[in-house]
Structure 1
Amino acid sequence: MTDFARTRKISIAVMSGLIASAVSGSALAEYPEKLVTIVVPFSAGGPSDKIARDLAEALRKPLGQTVVVENTAGACGSIGTARVARAPNDGYRLLVHHIGLATAPSLYKKPGYKTEDLEFLGLINEAPSTLIGKTALPGNSLADLRKYIAENDSKINLANAGVGSASHLCGLILQNALKSNMTSVPYKGTAPAMTDLMGGQVDLMCEQVTNSSPQIESKKVKVYGVSSTKRLTTPALADVPTLEEAGLKGFDFTVWHGLYAPRGTPPAILDKINAALRTAIKDPSLVKRQEALGITVVADARAEPAGHKKFFEGEVNRWARVIKDAGIQPE
């Protein structure tokens, strides 16, 4: 290579770097110029939807732009997730997803996307679940319930919102802890499962506090314990023991939610969204609304992209073992 060619090659590389830097700086200065959409891959009114709407409201001020929520339900979250994974990587279409994103690799052969297609922006919160039952079940304590399960086992119907849902995952851990073989009854969403539980068509369900608290408070279902390691302080659950203290040693299950963007979104835009997210999850109004539901807003390294990704990878490995031990084959 001649000196002229070498010099020309170096000059082109330098110019490319300068242009990339200029584009990145421009993206940071201009983003967002229009409304930002958060896709929730589940139906409106569910736990993920409620959390996303609280977050959208809290993001408006730090982003200086309107943030709206779009529900794209179907295939246990795969349709909405794939839509974001294929979206333009300009920061205007984001995703709020829960623990199901970490279980998908073990549950589905072809979910329609790869987690590598997403950029990690930070964890939002963690929500415990409750073990609830129809009011006709005998007894009111976990000890009473365990005796009933031991006597009836496979005759008992354990409802969930579909394979891979939070209620399904909690149910897997519950059955393992109880050494039980209850009959799993999957529904197409939380609402129909809860309706049948309240109507007595199914016996038990493990459901997020976001959805179960109103039914517990109105005594439409019985509650046997919460899945967190500490008792909750919300009015409906203040007197409810944790499942661990009620006898299921080591029981710990929380449903977390995270924020994501399409792969290849410019670093400057990712940084700006993460900064807005960290501001939003400290918003007193958001924190108050979340705590009123028994939900903990994340306040550690997982609110950063690197911490979020590390935590996520651990969850993928954890649930791969749980799903394998349950004998569930990927669809």
Structure 2
Amino acid sequence: MSISQKFKRAASWGVLIGAWAGAVVQAAEFPDKQVTIVVPYAAGGFTDQVARAIAPVLAEKWGKPVVIDNRPGGGTTIGTALVARAPADGHTLLLSSLGYLTNPLMMPRLPYDPQDLKPLMMVSESPSVLYVGKQVPANNLAEFASYMRANDGKVAFASSGVGSSPHICAEMLASAVGAHIIHAPYRGNAPALNALMGGEVAALLDAPSSVSYVQAGRMKVLGVASDKPVRSALPLTPFSQSSAPELKPYSCSSFFGFFMPAKVPAALQQRIYRDLRAVVEVPSVADGVTRPGGELHLLGPEDFTAYLDAQRPRWAAVIREKHITQE
């Protein structure tokens, strides 16, 4: 090896060691200013409640303010784009849900490059619960499946928007039953719930926390799309225990997790992940995260990425079959 080649190799190693050392120092000093958690949904919703359960304890741990920035609109693309374009210093995080996974499948022109974001930590998973209006002549899953087939193309399902988990889960249920539905999108879960309780629509697939309205006599609950125990104020029949064979395999849930700009140094990513996980594992925080109706499901960057990769084909198949698009 010539002296010139040795010099070039030494210089390359120097650059690499310098970059590694810089990333370690950055991780050690983080945060040095306010941290923002961008929630691409309106305040008061499920994702927002999860963020607000975490932020105060995270701020206490870091000794810096942690603020929630609600950026609804565009099917979550407005808030997501904001984080994708944020400086790669770890001070801007995204807490999102199914839209992160499905928007690239539904939107031909995204206002951001999905490659500019990296999964950081999955926090929780919320199984879908089937709620129906009091006017619907069905009191269990099998009766509702028969009702859907007898009224093919006439049963209206509310959702929090085109391509939302209540929308896609409803289309999956229709396919399982062998019927077609009317999709009635609203601007969020609260208006969708009001539409159901007001008799405007027949059904809604929503979080377990909405059973409080069942207790108040404003709607009925028929089952939960999960084969695992679900924390709820009322007993929930798993679809796997339905007397309708076509519904036994049906399951549908939504995830909630953190993302960050992909160019954040690996050492800093790991530091933020470890701190986030430690905070979510605090019992009071875990209770706040699950109270809206989710179940803790903590995954690190690699496992969260693998989870999303495994889920993507299933959602893609429904989106293609039902021609679900957002322009």
Name the TM-score class by shorter chain: over 0.9
Cα shift at 1:147: 2.8
Which one is further off, 106-115 or 270-279? 106-115
- Residue 58 of structure 2 corresponds to 59
Normalised by the length of structure 1, the TM-score is 0.91
- Secondary structure of 2:241's match? coil
- Residue 198 of structure 1 corresponds to 197
Give the letter for the 1:201 counterpart. Answer: E
Q: Does 1:165 align with 2:164?
A: yes
- Secondary structure of 2:180's match? coil
Cα shift at 1:10: 3.1
2:37 touches 2:51 (CA, 8 Å); kept in 1?
yes
Residues 24/223 of structure 1: CA separation in 2 closer, same or farther (3 Å cut)? same
Give the letter for the 1:98 counterpart. Answer: S
Residues 329/41 of structure 1: CA separation in 2 closer, same or farther (3 Å cut)? closer
Residues 180/2 of structure 1: CA separation in 2 closer, same or farther (3 Å cut)? same
Residues 261/329 of structure 1: CA separation in 2 closer, same or farther (3 Å cut)? closer
- Residue 287 of structure 1 corresponds to 286
Q: 2:326 & 2:198 partners in 1: Cα distance?
A: 32
Please list the CA deviations of residues 75-102 of structure 1 after superposition, one character each: whole Å capped at 9, or x if unmatched. Answer: 1101100110001111011001112211
- Residue 122 of structure 1 corresponds to 121
Cα shift at 1:7: 4.2
- Secondary structure of 2:128's match? strand
- Residue 244 of structure 1 corresponds to 240
Which one is further off, 81-90 or 65-74? 65-74
Q: 1:102-251, aligned counterparts within 5 Å? A: 102-210=101-209, 212-235=210-233, 237=234, 239-246=235-242, 247=244, 248-251=247-250
- Secondary structure of 1:164's match? coil
Q: 1:311 & 1:50 partners in 2: Cα distance?
A: 23
Give the letter for the 1:325 counterpart. Answer: E
Please list the CA deviations of residues 35-76 of structure 1 after superposition, one character each: whole Å capped at 9, or x if unmatched. Answer: 211100111111111111112234234434332111001111
Residues 231/22 of structure 1: CA separation in 2 closer, same or farther (3 Å cut)? closer
- Residue 275 of structure 2 corresponds to 276
Q: 1:254-269, aligned counterparts within 5 Å? A: 254-269=253-268
Q: 1:103 & 1:279 partners in 2: Cα distance?
A: 29
Give the letter for the 1:121 counterpart. Answer: L
- Residue 313 of structure 1 corresponds to 309
Please list the CA deviations of residues 216-246 of structure 1 after superposition, one character each: whole Å capped at 9, or x if unmatched. Answer: 23222111111111342422x2x22112212
- Residue 90 of structure 1 corresponds to 89
Q: 1:319 & 1:43 partners in 2: Cα distance?
A: 24
Q: 1:292 & 1:47 partners in 2: Cα distance?
A: 10
1:106 touches 1:330 (CA, 8 Å); kept in 2?
no
Which one is further off, 15-24 or 90-99? 15-24
The answer for unaligned runs of 5 or more in structure 1 is: none
Q: CA RMSD in A?
A: 1.9
Give the letter for the 2:157 counterpart. Answer: L
2:162 touches 2:326 (CA, 8 Å); kept in 1?
no
Cα shift at 1:209: 2.2
- Residue 320 of structure 2 corresponds to 324
Count of aligned positions: 324
- Secondary structure of 1:228's match? coil
